[in-house]
Chains A and B, each alone.
Chain A
């Protein structure tokens, strides 16, 4: 067991974990943050995307021990004071989801994308989301949602 200390969605947490525990497992199984989901075994789908010290990562491809000392934000920590993040609002507004399984990862990656590029073209959005797969193939409305969020100043 290895002791880890980190901040998750604004709260300090401290746990003894097996070194082989994946960050996504830690979030879901230890902290009960099941908003972050697992969609594949190959680190391809992006459903598990969270922010680690401010940038997007696939939490199935990071060990919990590697996150020691870091700050993690999951989809559950995006809303502030009960108000949804603009990107969450835009996904709802533009119907950027079908079954919703890819949505937590899509939203987390979209937030990262808008932080780097607050006013992306359609092509830049598609490239920015290339590590996120939607099995319902609802990409069209996902792209629209990101455009909507950008227009509303969603980079914040």
Chain B
């Protein structure tokens, strides 16, 4: 199928894009890499009157070092993030997650900001963004504001980005020297996870000094496994200690039941994947 007809705008600056959004309001839809939006339009699940393509706005692309954080432009393609040396060194968890997101062709087009703005609870980037306490920079008619990861994900496919706003960049605090693993459980290749766990830890002399754990597809938004994080701190990075902490993985979650698995199955899976992810992250730090 092909999309319903729409008008197409390709602004070259964020200001022009915001003006177009302001003019067309909720008749308009932002197009980033199109890897989630185009399937939606082709299935006619949505039929905007105007599509505003951000593809010609160069300032939204690229990754830069900003002292204690990396700044990733919203329109930076997954394949660029995947192979970026700064990302690998300072926010290893993101490298690990993006490596297994979709397939090569999709990663060449899909963007970091697009995936986060899409806010699919099964999307692979939300849990790492939460675990690394990323900050979302959002431009609107009144200027720019910054939203913490905890407040960014609101519900299924819903974020803090307003209808007249554009996500411009994501600031990710550096976690240099932290070990990281993204454990993604899938039944078939190049698909969204049934459950996935994003874990990053700082180990000091065999003891877990700090831990951050994010969960994918365990509720209507990505979630932080705070009970696990608290239970890990001060523990030795051993199988028994990590297993005990991982038992808290499903606390406070509300996993879906669907063709891929019942909620109870996902809750169990979360404990297994948290154990694997944390042990592997601790081993790699």
Q: Which positions in A face B, CB cutoff 8 Å?
A: 2, 18-22, 25, 41-44, 46, 49, 52, 55-58, 60-63, 65-66, 68, 109, 112-113, 128, 130-132
Contact = CB atoms under 8 A, between A and B. Distances in A.
B115 interface: no
B104 to A, nearest CB: 6
B52 to A, nearest CB: 11
Contacts of B8: 2, 19, 63, 65
Interface residues on B, range: 20 to 34
B159 interface: no
Contacts of B265: none
A5 B225 CA distance: 50
Interface stretch (B35-43, B203-211, B269-277): B35-43
A20 B2 contact: yes
Contacts of B106: 43, 58, 61, 131
A46 B109 CA distance: 14
| Interface SS, A side | mixed
B104 A128 contact: yes
Contacts of B31: 63, 66
Name the 9 nearest CB pairs between A and B, nearest first. Answer: A131-B103, A19-B8, A130-B189, A20-B3, A55-B108, A130-B190, A58-B105, A131-B105, A130-B103
Nearest to A53: B108
Contact of B4 (A20, A42, A60): A20
B190 A131 contact: yes
Nearest to A55: B108
A98 B2 CA distance: 29
B197 to A, nearest CB: 21
B6 A56 contact: no
Interface in B1-33: 1-8, 10, 31
B34 A41 contact: no
Given A55-B108, A57-B108, A131-B106, A66 B34 contact: yes
A126 B21 CA distance: 42
Given A55-B108, A61-B109, 8 more contacts: A19-B6, A20-B5, A20-B6, A52-B108, A61-B34, A66-B31, A130-B103, A130-B189
B237 interface: no
